[in-house]
Amino acid sequence: MGSISQPPIGLSNLQSPNNVHGGHVQLSSGPAAPRNIGKHYPQLCQAPPQHPQQANSYQIPAPYPIVNANGAQYPVPTFQKPSLDEADDQPWRYRGYPAMCKWMATDNDFFVLRRFGQIAARVLLRMQDRIAKLEEDLRCLDQVCMEAGLNNGTFRYEPKLERDSILDELSWRLEQYQRFYLDHSQMKARPDATEFQISNVKQWIEDANVKAIRKEEQQFLDKCGDLIPIVPQDRTPLRRFIDRFNLLRLLSRERKVHNTWSSARLGVNFES
């Protein structure tokens, strides 16, 4: 009888879960593995993959060269931090929404959004009317089946396929309507944004230069009755007094900054 070939000594338990650590195979205990292990299992002789940041000789590759249609190579552009004058001249380029979002995320009093109450009401009324129309169609089909002597007591053997189609549409329309209704009711329950919170955003736009955000995209701040804070806060009488005091101080500082700027530009002293 021919002898059955056996794996090299010491490798019989390679497939055991106990011999796998971190994705690498560990040799089982026992007799030493043969020297020609690389011939039978070449993958064991390869070094595990190394993260680029762990390699001592790793270098960050240079950017790909920019070549035009004629094959000429352009120099790789490098970005330099703009000066204050450059940032003031082109705030839409150097500030814009990245700077605004970074600032708004620092405090809840800086983050206000629109509720869109009128549009939400219109969408809800439209959803309601679509469902009401389907309800009328379903009632008519029930009456038709009753007068024709058809079975109104089965879903499995529905005599009117149109009724199945209406019920299928009603199922997803009702789900959409109820979800939208509940979400909007939570939005309606939130308190309106305070004058102090709205003035914070307006003041940032003025400080960062009005042109940092397009004018038409600043108009949401004029919808005072439709603005809500991202995180509502319970405002005690003391808190309301502090907010009003901060608002007055903010307006006073804005007036003072405007007078100082005008004096420097026009050479007129507005304080006298």
- Burial of residue 120 (number of CB atoms within 10 Å: 0-12, 13-18, 19+): middle
Mean pLDDT for the stretch of residues 44-67: 52
Confidence tier at 264 by pLDDT (50, 70, 90) = very low
Q: 33-47, 84-98, 114-128, 153-167: which has the minimum mean pLDDT? A: 33-47
Report pTM. Answer: 0.55
The H or E element that residue 204 is part of is: helix 195-207
Nearest one of 69, 73, 68, 19 to 44, comparing CA atoms: 19
> Can you tell me whether residue 89 is helix, strand or coil?
helix
Q: Which long-range contacts (C-beta less than 8 Å, at least 24 apart) are formed by 199-208?
A: 199/247, 199/250, 199/251, 200/109, 200/110, 200/250, 201/104, 201/110, 201/112, 203/250, 203/254, 204/100, 204/103, 204/110, 205/100, 206/254, 208/91, 208/95, 208/99, 208/100
Q: Which residue has the higher pLDDT, 215 or 26?
A: 215
Mean pLDDT of the chain: 75
Asked if 97 contacts 209 with a C-beta cutoff of 8 angstroms, the reply is no
Confidence tier at 48 by pLDDT (50, 70, 90) = low
Distance separating alpha carbons of residues 221 and 232, to the nearest angstrom? 17
Structure tokens belonging to residue 52: 């680029």
pLDDT digits (tens, 9 = 90+) for 132-187: 999 999 999 999 999 999 999 999 999 989 999 999 999 999 999 999 999 999 99
Identify the pLDDT of residue 55: 45
- Single-letter amino acid, residue 258: H
pLDDT digits (tens, 9 = 90+) for 186-196: 999 999 999 99
